[in-house]
Amino acid sequence: MPLDAICLTALLAELRPELLGTRVDKIQQPQKDKLLLTLRGKQGGGKLLLAAGSGSGRLHLTERGFENPQSPPMFCMLLRKHLTGAKLVEIAQPPLERLVELIFDTYDELGEPSRKTLVLELLGQSCNLILLDQAQLILDALRRVDEDMSRTRRILPGLRYELPETQGKENPKKADQAAMRAALEAAPPDIRLDTWLLSTFEGLSPLICRELTARTLGKRDSRLGELTPAQREIFLDGFLAFSKDLQAETWAPYQLSGEDGPVDFSYMPIHQYGETFTLTQAPSFSALLDDFYQAKDQSERHRQQAGALQKTVKNLHSRTARKLEAQRVELTEAADRDHLREQGDILTANLHTIKKGQSVLTAQNFYDPEGGEITIPLDPLKTPQQNAAAYYKRHTKAKTAQKHLLEQIEKGEGELEYLASVLDAIDRAESTADVAQIREELVDMGLLRREGGKKQKPSQAKPLKFISSTGLTIYAGKNNLQNDQLTFKMANRHDTWLHAQKIHGSHVVIATEGKEPDQKTLEEAAAIAAWHSQGRSNGKVAVDYTLVKYVKKPAGGKPGATHYVNYRTIQAIPEGALVDRLKT
C-alpha cells in the first residue's frame, strides 16, 4: 500500500526525537528518485532516505548501503550547496496530508541566518521533492512541472510554493456519531461501506477502510443497504473506537507477508485476510519500511532481470528452432540425390550425341524399368564432359552434405533441448542470484556475451535444502549448473537421486549415507522433484529414482544433461505447501 497520511503521522512522531537538532553531514542521490541525507547529532541521527518514486514514495531511516553515480545529479548538487551543515529544526506535516516539510536553519551566501525547507510530496503518481527558500519561493524541484503538465499547479524555480488542494473530507480523529449517522442515511444504499469511508474521511487508505468494515461486520464488502439498524450502530461504534485510538496515537508498525514475501503494511493489526497472510509487528516504522521496500525492490529487480533473460533465451530458442527446420528440409533434399548420379550416367552414355551449346538432352532413361525418356538440363557454356562431371559433383556434394547435416541436426536438437531446460530454470528462479547464475552458465556456454568484459564472481546461489518428515536431508538444484554440482560433486555415490521423468526439472538428492531411504522421505523427495519441474501444474508427475552411482553425464553433454539406469518410478503430487514446509 502507499504510505497513507495516518501512517505518515505515526512515522514522523517516531522520527522527530531521533532527528531534530541533527545536522546534515552528507547528501547523496543514488537513484533519480531517491535522496539520502546523512544526519549527525549528539543524541541521534542516521541515514534518512527520501524516495519520490511513483508508487513507492516514502521517508525513513535506513541501514542499507547505496551505490552512487560517478557524477552527482544537478538536484543533488543544489541541495549540497544549500543544506550541507544545516540544522534540522522541524519536521512538519499539514493535517492528514501525505506531505512532509523538513525545515532547516542554515546560512546564506553572505553568512546571514537563513531557513530552507525541503518538501516531500507523496501524492500517488505525482511524488516530488522541492527545495524552498526562506520566503517559500521554489529554488528547484526533483521534477519540474510547467503549464503544459499542469494548468492548476506549477513547480518551477522562482515561483511561490503552494500546498496541493485538499479534498475537503472529514477528519477521522473528530468523528461525530450523529453526523456519521446522518451521512449514512444520505448515502446510496448500494454503496460499499469501505468505499463510503474512503470518500468521506481524510487520511484513510483502502486497506484500513476494508479492515474497519471487516472488524465491525465480519466481511470486507458489506453494502449499506444490506445492514440492519443494529448493524449500522455496530459499524458506527466500531469507527468511533478507531477514532479514539487515533486521538490517543495508539499505533504500531505491522507487516503482512505471504509466501513470496511482504505484501502490505499498516499502523494497526490487519486481520481481514485470515490465515492467507502472516501478520508481524516490526520494531519501528523505519525498520518496517526499510525491510518492506528492500524486499519489494529485490522482487522487482528479480522480475526485470528474469524477464530480460527469458526474452533473450526465447529468441535463441526460436532462432535455433528455425535453423533446425531449415536443416531438416535441406537434409530431405540431400537424401534424394541418387537421381543426380543417374543423370550423370545417362549424359556419359550419350556424350557422342551432345553438341556444345546444347541446353537440354532428351534420351532413353535406362534406369526406368519401362524404358521411358528423360529430359536433362544442360549448361550450354560447358562441354558435354563438363556437364556430366557437374552432375556427379552435385551428387558427391549432396552425399557429404547429408553427413554434415545429420551432425548439425543432432547438435541443434541438443541445443534446443538445453535452451528449453534453461527457460524452465528461469521460470523457477527465486532470486537475482539465481538469475545471475543462469546468465553466467549461458556465457560459459558461449550463447551470451559477458557483461563488462570480465568474468563475474561466482554466484552465491546454492541448491535448495529440505528436511524430510523423518529427518533426512534432501537437496534440489535450481538450474543446470546447480544440478551438475549437486549430482556430480556434492552427492555421495550411494545417495538416492530423483528426477521428473522425460521433462525438464531439478536434480533431487536424498542424502542417505548409504542407507535405503524410508518410504515417507522417498515420497516427499519425489514431490519436491515434481514441484521443481515442468510438470508443476499437473495433478501427478512420474518421478524416476536411482542411486547416484547409476547417473552419468553423456560425453560432451551440456550442463544438467544426464543418462541413468537401474531406476524405478514413483507417482508424485507436486504440492507447493508440502515443499515449503520441508524447506529449511
The DSSP result for 293-356, as a single string, is: HHHHHHHHHHHHHHHHHHHHHHHHHHHHHHHHHHHHHHHHHHHS-HHHHHHHHHHHHTGGG--T
Cα–Cα distance measured from residue 119 to residue 300, given in angstroms and rounded to the nearest whole number: 27
Task: Calculate the average pLDDT of the chain.
Answer: 90
Q: Half-sphere exposure of 510 toward its Cβ, with a 13 Å CA cutoff?
A: 30
pLDDT at 487: 95
Q: How confident is the model at residue 228 (pLDDT cuts 50, 70, 90)?
A: very high
| pLDDT at 457 > cutoff 60 | no
Nearest to 358 by CA among 387, 315, 396, 333: 387
Cα–Cα distance measured from residue 128 to residue 35, given in angstroms and rounded to the nearest whole number: 11
User: Tens of pLDDT along 172-212?
Assistant: 999 888 889 999 889 999 999 999 999 999 999 999 999 99
Q: What is 346-408 written as a DSSP string?
A: HHHHTGGG--TT--EEEEE-TTSTT--EEEEE--TTS-HHHHHHHHHHHHHHHHHHHHHHHHH
Q: How confident is the model at residue 49 (pLDDT cuts 50, 70, 90)?
A: very high
Q: How confident is the model at residue 102 (pLDDT cuts 50, 70, 90)?
A: very high
Cα–Cα distance measured from residue 106 to residue 114, given in angstroms and rounded to the nearest whole number: 5
| CB-based contact 127:54 (threshold 8 Å) | yes
| CB-based contact 60:37 (threshold 8 Å) | no
| CB-based contact 262:292 (threshold 8 Å) | yes
**Which residues are within 8 A (CB) of 124 and not within 5 positions of it... i.e. 6 or more apart?**
2, 54, 55
> Sign (positive/negative) of CA torsion 433, 435, 441, 444?
negative
Number of other CB atoms surrounding residue 216 within 10 Å: 21
| pLDDT at 559 > cutoff 60 | yes
| pLDDT at 530 > cutoff 80 | yes
Q: CA distances (Å), 298 to each of 30, 269, 294, in order?
A: 16, 25, 6
Q: What are phi and psi of 14, to 5 degrees?
A: -75, -35
Q: Can you give the residue ranges of every domain in the chain? A: 5-141, 172-285, 318-461, 464-582
Amino acid sitting at position 543: V
CATH node for 172-285: 1.10.8.50
Q: CA distances (Å), 140 to each of 24, 130, 146, 212, in order?
A: 19, 6, 12, 41
User: Tens of pLDDT along 562-575?
Assistant: 999 999 999 999 99
Helix (H) or strand (E) holding 106: strand 99-107
Q: Give start and end residues of each alpha helix (H) in 383-518.
A: 384-428, 432-444, 480-485
Cα–Cα distance measured from residue 356 to residue 436, given in angstroms and rounded to the nearest whole number: 67
| CATH architecture observed for domain 5-141 | Roll (2.30)
What mean pLDDT comes out for the span 286-307? 87
Q: CA distances (Å), 330 to each of 324, 336, 341, 402, in order?
A: 10, 10, 18, 8
What mean pLDDT comes out for the span 49-73? 89
The model's pTM is: 0.67
pLDDT at 300: 78
| CB-based contact 463:455 (threshold 8 Å) | no
pLDDT at 389: 93
The position carrying cell 526525537 is: 17
pLDDT at 364: 87
Bridge partners (DSSP) listed for residue 130: 119, 141
End-to-end Cα spacing for the chain: 30
- Structure-block grid coordinates of residue 6: 495516518
Q: What are phi and psi of 160, to 5 degrees?
A: -75, 135
- Structure-block grid coordinates of residue 575: 504440492
Instruction: Burial-class residue 574 by CB neighbours within 10 Å (0-12, 13-18, 19+).
Output: buried
Q: Annotate 533-568 with b (16+ C-beta within 10 A) or e (fewer).
A: bbbbeeeebbbbbbbbeebeeeeeebbbbbebeebe
Q: How confident is the model at residue 147 (pLDDT cuts 50, 70, 90)?
A: confident
The position carrying cell 550419350 is: 350
- In the DSSP assignment, the letter for residue 70 is S
Nearest to 214 by CA among 151, 174, 152, 271: 271
| pLDDT at 153 > cutoff 80 | yes
